[in-house]
Structure 1
Amino acid sequence: MTTPTLLILPGDGIGPEVMAEVRRVITWFGDKRGLKFDVSEDLVGGAAYDVHGTPLTDATMAKAQEADAVLLGAVGGPKYDTLDFSVKPERGLLRLRKEMDLYANLRPAQCFDALADFSSLKRDVVAGLDIMIIRELTSGIYFGEPRGIFMEGNERVGINTQRYTTSEIERVARSAFELAKKRNNKVCSMEKANVMESGVLWREVVTKVHAEEFPEVELSHMYADAGAMQLCRWPKQFDVIVTDNLFGDLLSDAAAMLTGSLGMLPSASLGAPGANGLPKALYEPVHGSAPDIAGQGKANPIACILSFAMALRYSFDQGAEADRLEAAIEKVLADGARTADLIGEEGIAPISTTEMGDVVLAALDASL
């Protein structure tokens, strides 16, 4: 059998620091579990712009298309704020998502018991939380045309277009229903059908896919603004939430803070299954590049490590090993390991990025 390929794009800010700990975890699985990966590394975002004058070269894009999975750290930073929009670091990430056709963005929001008190909500509201938000990722207002800043009479006007086709909604709805069947069999679809025609179409199409293909899954609908309120009121009512690109961006970040820290949350962006039955995929932590702490050893690598766990599960058909890695992280948190973002009491000394990697590897050793 051929060795699966993994393209690593550390990116900017804390990206290289957290990715270094993932590289150690990947090596551990190769040495201790016989899971070998053909790993290559390249530039994206500001790091690519500094060298090539573009946030993503055609050559790197080609590598991403050929890889079994792509693991990305973070992009962006104030250094690049004055660049033209077309070459900002984030354009590299958007190009990856668009050209790989990664239409389903999976953002889990899981609250580890050891961190329940770090949420801004009460413990009983978030303890045991385990929901999945599926955000449509390659259409909607971030990609619709026309877009831009134009002159209209004597005024400048900014225009973005919210646009969805039936097939775009169908495929992300199917992803949500399929995933729900492996979880608690519930899907809540969120849109703004009360004020947006795209929301009307979204609700109609999701309802049709459900009736014709997944009647055994429980389906509910909710306006996205009401959904945001319910995420803060009682998030454990949800299992899988499916929504569009804009609302998914907002709702998943809101859900992220239910868990106590953005440094804890992974994500997966999946495309259509290939000939091998597995999807094209890009995995990345939800957190940004955090330039204010870059290079200081303060970054929490757990979200990036958990992103690799998602790769094990969705790209490499290694669900049991993904469980092993997630259990190791749960153990180190229960044992009190904390990076700076997880310090809730004065007098507790945080551990460094590398030290968090050390204790995760020790927990993995203990799992053998």
Structure 2
Amino acid sequence: MKMTSEALWEDRDVRFDISPQQMKMRPGERVVDKLDAIEDTKGNSGDRGRLVITNLRLIWHSHTMQRVSLSVGYNCIINVTTKTVNSKLRGLTEALYILTKANNTRFEFIFTNLVPSTSRLFTSVIGVYKAYNSSKIYRELKLRGAIIQNKQLRILPQEQIFSRVNGVWNLSSDQGNLGTFVITNVRLVWFANMNDQFNISLPYLQMASVKVRESKFGMALVVESSEASGGYVLGFRIDPVEKLHEVHKEISSLFNVYSQCPIFGVEFTIQDKDIEEDYDLNMMPRAYSLNSFGQANMMEEQQMEIPFADEPEIDDSVVETSDVLTLYLADGRHQDGEPVYAPELGLAVEKLKEGFTLQSLWEVIPS
């Protein structure tokens, strides 16, 4: 069976003057927040517009001319920080600065909230972007990941296991490797019985086709991944043949269900209750949460503290590096300094900013 689903571009592209059709939410895409008094300070200075924050991208459009718009996918974002700018509508103020790269071209965006004394623009955009980055395993093929613990799949927050199939031979090598299938509502997982670090996690989002065909090992289940994930061709043998066809039917069925409403894994809760006079109360509630299926749930408005902690990484196999380097370059205006001699390296390096050391910039785990 050939897998067919509309190509996902929303989180992987930067587009300008998009059509109303491209502004619509694709299956699985959800609006997280909506701000009605935002200026695109760099591209459309002096023009008041609306910023829609979804679980896949940022959409901005002008209030006066709907055709003046843009869509920024989170996967294109290189850096998000704040910057002091001179806005035509607010004067000298703090704005959100976003650096992106799409199709080998870099784009800069500066968004200014025209409602004073609110940090909602920063907390919503940065928070959702962090949630997107910490949930890549929902959307990307992963080889040899830390996904198995004690021969059991480490379940994701929105994941449900449907089947566990023993006696599955991975045909990637001449002798084959005996392992286990775990089939969920989000992905297909295989791991070797002798070494569970030899594994693969293939989300349905990256699955191009799944079929049963003849191989040199006999009838096999052949799964192809999308070009975006490397175009892998994975072969598996399951005995008896009747069981092989059952597994093929189950995977095909789960993919069809998934394609109707994909689970992208981006969870974020709005917790800032700043009052914005120009905010359209009929368009979106000020506070809501995403449930386990990524759908919006209404919440009563209440005063909450704004959290500044990073979103936890779902795949914790790798210890996150220190944020010192991020802070070092966070102003977005870094220029090369004068060269000085570093005795610990025996090299000439750029003169460091005050308060930073070579050790703090290079160490993986902060001391």
Q: TM-score, normalised by structure 2?
A: 0.22
- Using CA pairs below 8 Å that are at least 6 residues apart, which structure has the higher relative contact order? 1
User: Higher strand fraction: Structure 1 or Structure 2?
Assistant: 2
Structure (1/2) with the larger helix percentage = 1
